[in-house]
Chains A and B, each alone.
Chain A
Amino acid sequence: KQEVTQIPAALSVPEGENLVLNCSFTDSAIYNLQWFRQDPGKGLTSLLLIQSSQREQTSGRLNASLDKSSGRSTLYIAASQPGDSATYLCAAETNTGNQFYFGTGTSLTVIP
């Protein structure tokens, strides 16, 4: 079973700072990796999806990379804003299954 870990559990940064969120997974036979954002009491919003043949994806100020050999993915947020405050979750799918396994998330607070 795929185990997904996100460290740190919480992060607080001043507005404007560039930051990196980390995600590690145990099974390198990864098929897809997806990053989500979750606001308090809400569902998950998809941010970026990296397919197995890709190494990174970009959307606006967000960039996600995938290194299967080391079992890691990072989400880079440029020029952080207070509106970026949320919990960020990563989820990994292996070649053998049809489900994603989720980390417990990193709670990000951007201080104005």
Chain B
Amino acid sequence: DVKVTQSSRYLVKRTGEKVFLECVQDMDHENMFWYRQDPGLGLRLIYFSYDVKMKEKGDIPEGYSVSREKKERFSLILESASTNQTSMYLCASRVSYGYTFGSGTRLTVV
């Protein structure tokens, strides 16, 4: 089975900090995605990537950037964390026709 690993389950960061969220998949898949999940709003796509060094904006890219230097790793970067970026962040990898998700990172910005 494909495994998608998010490096941190819980993070607490201060306003203005630069934050890196890491996601690694173990099956050489090309397509990877970053979502955030908020109560009442569901999952919203931040960025996705079709291949190394390729990235596409999702529905809510403002305040975020991404990096994909190697196929297995897709990083989400909060350039200057703000309290409204407190959320659950979920990474997914495309598995044939569907998604496999990581276990999520609960980020709190104080």
Contact = CB atoms under 8 A, between A and B. Distances in A.
Contact of B98 (A42, A49, A103): A49
A98 B50 contact: yes
Interface string B37-59: 00011110100101000000010
Contacts of B42: 89, 102-105
A42 B99 contact: no
Contacts of A102: 35, 42-43
B101 interface: yes
Contacts, number: 50
Given A99-B45, A103-B42, A104-B40, A46 B100 contact: yes
Contacts of A63: none
Given A49-B97, A49-B98, A98-B50, A42 B45 contact: no
Contacts of A103: 42
Contact of A46 (B33, B58, B98, B104): B98
B106 A99 contact: no
Tell me what chain A mostly uses at the interface: helix, strand, loop, or mixed.
Answer: strand
A105 B88 CA distance: 15
A98 B103 contact: no
A45 B92 CA distance: 11
Given A44-B90, A49-B97, 5 more contacts: A41-B88, A43-B104, A46-B99, A46-B101, A102-B43
The 5 lowest CB-CB distance pairs between A and B, nearest first, are A104-B42, A49-B98, A102-B43, A43-B103, A44-B101
